[in-house]
Homo-oligomer: A and B are copies of this chain.
Amino acid sequence: MDIKTKIAGLKLKNPTILASGILGVSRSSLQNVVKNGAGACVIKSISLEERAGHKAPNMITFEAGMMNAVGYSNPGVEEAKKEFTKLKELDAPIIASIIGKDENEFAQMAEKLLPGEFSAVEVVLSCPHTPGYGTMAGQNSPENTEKITRAVRKKTKLPIFIKISPDSNPIGEVAKAAEAGGADGITAVNTMGPGMIIDIQTGQPILHFKVGGVSGPALRPIAVRCIYDIYKAVKIPIIGCGGVTYGSDALQMLMAGARAVEIGTGIYYRGSDIFHKVNKEISEFMTQKKYVGLNDIIGLTHKLEE
């Protein structure tokens, strides 16, 4: 069964993409993920300067998903340039992920990191647990979204995906702002919340940052609704993200309008070969329903409304 897909000119042999911040710290780990079936990979988000991130605990799981407050630990753009080389030799497109405190930092990041190696860039405006970045800095407002997108657009010809927050309200407006700023696609969504889990024995929040973004199954129905709303709002393609654990989750996102899906927390539940597994589940479904390609199901839920 052919399950290849195309997003903003990017050709993927299958619709599964490694989400940013899961594995993706080194070239080798990307290579290992590609070996496990990913159609593309997004690297861990990179900032201008090195960041240690929050102290640990940085991640915990609970009965409905996962929570994290990593705080954008990364070696900074110079180290990243040394780390991410010969990416074109890998069997799948590698997408950069950049963060910044304002449009200027984002612009510098695009200038410094992107040339040469990467196939596209994800611009992250949506982390809910890092002061100075994402939703904590209001980067998810339509105004800031458009401003930052424009700044990055000026510095690169690569496809730009704006990664937005499920807590953007109304999310369609944020997507429109990204489109207006020159984005080639939307990644929906980043973690939600933040949430808090307290250890009742000590009364202490478990995450060192106290709160963290919620990912995994708890996020999935919200992510599917975000994709559905964004599909109605903009023409540029959507990459779904949030709680994809099984093929059926990915299929829901495709039907809601996504052209591909990112997978992060799912690796915890099903191992790094989750990409192979989800692709197999998608193929089996397509065969059973006699679909010939993903275009038969991308946006299907909307087509049924016509």
Interface residues of A (CB under 8 A from B): 62-65, 67, 167, 169, 192-198, 200-205, 210-211, 214, 216-222, 224-225, 228, 243, 248, 251-252, 255-256, 285, 289, 297, 300-301, 303-304
Q: Return 25 A-B CB contacts under 8 Å, by A number.
A: A62-B217, A63-B64, A63-B217, A64-B64, A64-B243, A67-B221, A167-B167, A193-B225, A194-B222, A195-B220, A195-B222, A195-B225, A196-B221, A197-B221, A197-B224, A198-B256, A203-B255, A203-B303, A204-B304, A211-B228, A214-B221, A214-B222, A218-B218, A218-B219, A218-B221
- On whether A218 and B248 interact (CB within 8 A), knowing A167-B167, A169-B167, A203-B297, the answer reads no
| Chain A at the B interface: SS class | mixed
Contacts A196-B221, A224-B196, A252-B197; is A301 near B205 (CB within 8 Å)?
yes
Q: Cβ of B196 and Cβ of A228 under 8 Å apart? A: yes
The distance in angstroms between the C-alpha atoms of A62 and B203, with both chains bound, is 30
Least CB separation from A62: chain B residue: B221
A198 with B301: CB separation less than 8 A:
yes
Contacting residues, chain B, for A195 (C-beta < 8 A): 220-222, 224-225
Complex contacts, A194 vs chain B, CB 8 Å: 222, 225
Contact between chains at A251 and B200 (CB < 8 Å):
yes
Q: Are B222 and A193 in contact (CB under 8 A)?
A: yes
Least CB distance, A289 to chain B, in whole angstroms: 8
Which chain B residues border A210 with CB–CB below 8 Å?
228
Q: How far is the CA of A251 from the CA of B218 in the complex (A)?
A: 21
Contact yes or no, A192 B255, CB < 8 A: no
How distant is A153 from chain B, measured CB to nearest CB, in Å? 27
Assembled-state Cα–Cα distance A304/B198 (Å): 12
Closest Cβ–Cβ distance, residue A236 to chain B (whole Å): 21
**Do B167 and A200 touch across chains, with their CB atoms under 8 A apart?**
no
Cβ–Cβ contact A211 & B225, under 8 A: yes
Complex CA gap A102/B205 in Å reads: 38
- Complex CA gap A291/B180 in Å reads 58
**CA A256 – CA B211 in complex, angstroms?**
12
Give the distance to chain B from A286, nearest Cβ to Cβ, in Å.
Answer: 11
Other than the given A64-B218, A203-B255, 7 more pairs (CB < 8 A) read A62-B220, A64-B64, A64-B216, A192-B222, A198-B252, A202-B304, A203-B300
Nearest-Cβ distance from residue A195 to partner chain B, whole angstroms? 3
The listed residue (B193, B200, B220, B303) touching A221 by CB distance below 8 A is B193
